[in-house]
Amino acid sequence: MDKFDTPSKFPPYFCVAETEGRIVGFSGCRRALVMSNAWEMIWNNVHFDFQRRGIGRLMIEYRLEQIKKKGGTIVFTMTKLPQLPGGSGFEIVSRIDGWYLMVNKLGSVDIT
């Protein structure tokens, strides 16, 4: 997972999924300002020809591992497909105009 080159103090990180030397997916995450150790997952895109092979879920799990390593204890995401992050521990906390706000609690949440 690489940091996107930006002067921001809380830069987004992106990762790609590769198969047979070809990039077939990308996704990202970044630290959220709402709370200490809170993160948000941004983007999740898999090439049409490679969908439904577990790549989307793999990229969610990979980012969760990286967020844990960086001390993240709570992760937010918005999606229209709650089954996808739901398989990795996210729970729906609200439904807004056809979108699902989902949260994954990885550890104790507090201000540090």
Q: Which of 28, 30, 37, 44 binds ligand COA (CB under 6 A)?
A: 44
Q: Does 88 bind ligand COA (CB under 6 A)?
A: no
By beta-carbon proximity to ligand COA, the closer residue of 1 and 36 is 1
Q: Does 56 bind ligand COA (CB under 6 A)?
A: yes
How near is the Cβ of 28 to ligand COA at its closest, in Å? Answer: 10
How near is the Cβ of 110 to ligand COA at its closest, in Å? Answer: 29
Q: Does 77 bind ligand COA (CB under 6 A)?
A: no
HEC readout, the chain: CEECCCCCCCCCEEEEEEECCEEEEEEEEEECCCCCCEEEEEEEEECHHHCCCCHHHHHHHHHHHHHHHCCCCEEEEEECCCHHHHCCCCEEEEEECCEEEEEEECCCCCCC
How near is the Cβ of 55 to ligand COA at its closest, in Å? Answer: 4
Residues that bind ligand COA (CB under 6 A): 43-46, 51-57, 79, 81, 83-84, 87
